[in-house]
Amino acid sequence: MLECFQLTISGKQALVELARPEQLNVLDEQALDELDAVLTELQDQGIKAVVVTGQGRAFAAGADVKAMAQMDTAAAKSFSLKGNRVFQRIEEHPAIFIAAVNGYALGGGLELALACDLRLASSKAVFAQPEIGLGLIPGFGGTQRLPRLIGPARAKEWILTGRRYSAHDALAAGLVAEVVEPEELLSKAQGLAEELAARSGPILAVAKRAVNASAGVTPAQGQTEAELFAGCFAYRDTREGLQAFVEKRKPDFQDW
């Protein structure tokens, strides 16, 4: 039984909604496990096109910072590897995934959108990789996918500053294909899914694999990121950054 997601299947299309709006659709261990199960169900059902969106005012506002504040390096690496593995499944899945970014797509939420094949955004969407402000780096594939999508120089700006960007910024960067008004987003995404679902499923999957191969997508990249992400937890500054977020104060980084 799903608690973090709502899955609706219609023919060869599916709608996957992050369904904890009161928590801004946080991506914790439970959410990742449920998403993993959803991906298996989609494959078992032969779904060809999937729309992923969030309920409420967030697509997904990131990972569970309170939980991360309690992690040691081993737990952090395990968490990062799980997120990388699940998001890699989206990238390798035979279905085509369309992220309909309705609001905040921050940290792990942006990384979920990056793992999808296509991205549409509401004019109210906000994008960021804010981990640097916590004394961290992205841990669910952001350091690998963001440079491929918007280029290394711009990706470094996003990751190293942690700034927030509007939907139109994301459009200009090439991160999203289109920006629409909030009330049009879901229908637009589902219309695209319907168009894709009318195509040959096996050929869609082959085309997806061919494009991914051109970008050099490999699971080993996730392993490298997980090791670097986990290494952050050996620093005092990471502990300080996470605790400051939990306590709603500005972090006092000491460079060690």
Q: Report which of 131, 113, 3 is spatially closest to residue 59, judged by C-alpha positions.
A: 113
Beta strands in 112-177 (DSSP E): 118-122, 126-128, 165-166
pLDDT exceeds cutoff 70 at 220: no
Residues 6+ apart with CB under 8 A from 160: 132
Domain coordinates in residue numbering, the chain: 5-182
Domain at 5-182, CATH from 3.40.50.300, 3.40.50.2000, 3.90.226.10, 3.30.1490.190:
3.90.226.10
CB atoms within 10 A of CB 189: 26
User: Please, what is the end-to-end C-alpha distance for the chain in angstroms?
Assistant: 44
* Inter-CA distances, 107 with 47, 100, 184, 194, Å: 28, 16, 25, 29
Cβ-contact 158, 150 below 8 angstroms: yes
92-128: pLDDT as tens digits? 999 999 999 999 999 999 999 999 999 999 999 999 9
Task: Please tell me the distance from the alpha carbon of residue 82 to that of residue 63, in angstroms, as a whole number.
Answer: 12
> Which amino acid, one-letter code, is at 82?
K
- Give me the active site residues, please: 111, 131
Cβ-contact 15, 2 below 8 angstroms: no
Residues 6+ apart with CB under 8 A from 181: 122, 123
204-215: pLDDT as tens digits? 999 999 998 887
Q: What is the pLDDT of residue 202?
A: 93
Task: Please tell me the distance from the alpha carbon of residue 195 to that of residue 202, in angstroms, as a whole number.
Answer: 15
18-57: pLDDT as tens digits? 999 999 999 999 999 999 999 999 999 999 999 999 999 9
Mean pLDDT computed over every residue of the chain: 95
